[in-house]
Amino acid sequence: MGEVVGAGLIAHVPTIVLPEKTRRELNNGEDTTLVSGLHELRRDVFDQVDYDTVVVLDSHWATTVEFVVTAHERRTGLFTSEELPRGMSRRPYDIAGDPALAHLVASKGEDHSTWITAIDDDSLPIFYATTNVWEFLGQGLPDKRWISIGVCQTADTEDNLRLGRALGDAIAESDRRVLLIASGALSHTFWPLRQLRDHEASGAEHIFTSDAAAADAERMAWFEAGDHARVLDTMNEFYRFKPEARFGHYLMMIGAIGEGDCTATGRRYGEYENSVGTGQVHYWFDRPAGGFPRPRRTPTDPDYVRQNGGPELTAAG
């Protein structure tokens, strides 16, 4: 029987893969703590914990009619970002996959009244929400497998939780010990282009609004207290501050480890920082004694579907 042995909300911003000299030039001579935080996380967790597979919940990969999970034996190539090719250009990656787990995740879609497809097409794009964190946390560990699941841009809170429940069930049915990475930000509004270069430093005073920074701070306090129920109960309030990918990366993660029943406390790596208006931080949630709570079940009866806004399972189109 498999299990999740750790999970984290991890920032993937382009700044982390820039040369240190450039990072300091952007940040008044100081380096971003997001880099040192990732190095510490690698030493504390990814080099120490017994695990087989990492599942990245990738907030940059937006699908439309279904969730998609990568099912490649291996993904290799050179990554150049369409968003910021000046800062992320021809970066090599060589990532072992886990097709068996990917197909098992996809098989759980119907059980949770959602759609999940496993894809192994070598031409499928890869995104820096996966490659940037892999460079810090996975590179040099050839026996560790990594797969990614995209966010679905038509998904709401319940849909993202259903994906997480399906993922958690698949992991439990497998023989895998898994680390989950919710790769993405908190509040996520960029400064307009003509103002942006005045707000490239990492200080929280550069977050797009003080209200957004305060909303992020509330959620960080709840992470540290293990109060995931409060995070979920206030999602509608948080949506006002445009969390990245409607916070789908976090919602999928927490859906896999028990939702509001999960009380795992968060350990912060590095400081809370700005990235041209957006709120960035690394938090890690260790496996509690006795394991994470099992994912909640999603009944498939029509009354549940109607009450929770879920789709009846028909062919996606």
Mean pLDDT by 10 residues, the chain (317 residues): 98 98 97 98 98 98 98 98 96 98 98 97 98 98 97 98 98 98 98 98 98 98 98 98 98 98 98 98 97 83 48 38
Nearest of 267, 271, 272 to residue 283 by alpha carbon: 267
Domains located in the chain, CATH noted: 3-307 (3.40.830.10)
Can you give the pLDDT at residue 300?
Answer: 54
Nearest to 57 by CA among 256, 286, 294: 256
Phi-psi region of 223 (alpha: psi -120 to 50; beta: other; left: phi over 0): alpha
Q: What pTM was estimated for this model as a whole? A: 0.94
CA atoms within 13 A on the CB side of 149: 33
Tokens of 155: 């998904």
pLDDT score at 297: 82
Place of tokens 């800062």: 87
CB 310 within 8 A of CB 158: yes
Residue 309: its pLDDT value, please? 54
